[in-house]
């Protein structure tokens, strides 16, 4: 007659199973954080582009009269947005991250 009780080996495997789950959850949380930062960066880039669109004239490379000013200004606003988001942003990334994690928990 087979025993219904788990073997000693099964008990030793429990921490490994638990650690695997924790590692998977940490990876999902990190990915959610990155996605939140990317979303915030895109939002900030749009806001900064609108802000820079109101700047009139200017003869420098980023000015409205400069050669390729619109192109270089878009690179600059994207870089500003990325740096602001990496430095803590304005709080959108945290909300997006929490929402992504909440949705993942509901689906699992």
Domain ranges of the chain: 28-54+67-107
pLDDT, tens digit, 9 for 90 and up, residues 41-86: 999 999 998 887 777 666 665 666 666 677 778 888 899 999 998 8
pLDDT at residue 44, as a whole number: 93
- Judge whether residue 30 has pLDDT over 80: yes
pLDDT at residue 24, as a whole number: 75
Region 24-39 average pLDDT: 87
For residue 61, give the 3-state DSSP assignment: coil
Residues 80, 86, 87: CA angle, nearest 5 degrees = 90
Q: What average pLDDT is seen over the chain? A: 77
Radius of gyration of the chain (CA): 24
- Judge whether residue 6 has pLDDT over 50: no
pTM: 0.66
């Amino acid at each position: 007659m087979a025993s219904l009780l788990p073997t000693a080996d099964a008990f030793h495997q429990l921490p490994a199973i638990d650690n695997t789950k924790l590692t998977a959850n940490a990876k999902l949380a990190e990915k959610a954080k990155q996605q939140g930062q990317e979303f915030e960066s895109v939002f900030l880039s749009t806001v900064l582009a609108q802000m820079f669109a109101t700047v009139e004239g200017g003869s420098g490379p980023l000015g409205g009269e400069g050669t390729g000013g619109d192109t270089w200004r878009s690179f600059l606003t994207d870089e500003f947005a990325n740096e602001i988001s990496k430095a803590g942003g304005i709080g959108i990334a945290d909300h997006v991250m929490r929402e992504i994690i909440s949705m993942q928990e509901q689906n699992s």
